[in-house]
Amino acid sequence: MAETGQDLAPADALWVWRHPRPEGAAGRCVGAGSDLPVHWRRSKRLARRIQAQARRARLPHCIHTSPLARCRAVGRWLRRWGWQHRVDAALLELDFGHWEGKAWTAIGQAEVDAWCADFARHAPGGGESLSQLLARARAWQPAQRPALLVSHGGWMLARAWAGPAPQEAAAWPAAPRYGELRRLV
């Protein structure tokens, strides 16, 4: 469940930020198999925002990140400033298999249509299905709450999704903005 206003008590929340905008992602299919870098200024800026939010809300100084560079770089800044940094593969983006890194225009329309026709169960590019991502995101539990995370748009949407996997691609919401915070349960 996504945050609506201030309804979630900090003790119950996962404070999840989407990673900063990675280099070279525009127009490409980017998921778990695309380890794109982030400019150091972007990762440092997000780390400062997380640090300030933690100070204001009296949150623990422990950050969980996906192992991909676009998330891990933020955790490294926080670790330099005395935080604990835990890297967890369960926080990865959807795996797009052989679509990874390809321009969307280079992926055949028939392949995209097959995914859209069975949006919940089809594994795009032979990677991971949305149902698998939903199960992985829902199963992830931190050792303590509140927990602070830097993850990916798809993972954040999967964690927030209530109910069964959507059968149609049109039902899936747009990804959060780069650097956006969502408080989830």
Specify the pLDDT at position 185.
85
Residues 3, 16: contact at Cβ < 8 Å? no
Could you state, in chain order, the average pLDDT of each consecutive group of 10 residues for the chain (185 residues)?
46 92 96 97 98 96 98 98 98 98 95 95 97 97 95 97 91 96 93
pTM score, whole prediction: 0.92
Structure tokens at 57: 């809300």
Domain coordinates in residue numbering, the chain = 10-184
State the Cα–Cα distance between residues 37 and 166, nearest whole angstrom: 31
State the Cα–Cα distance between residues 154 and 137, nearest whole angstrom: 9
Q: Does domain 10-184 have CATH number 3.40.50.1240?
A: yes
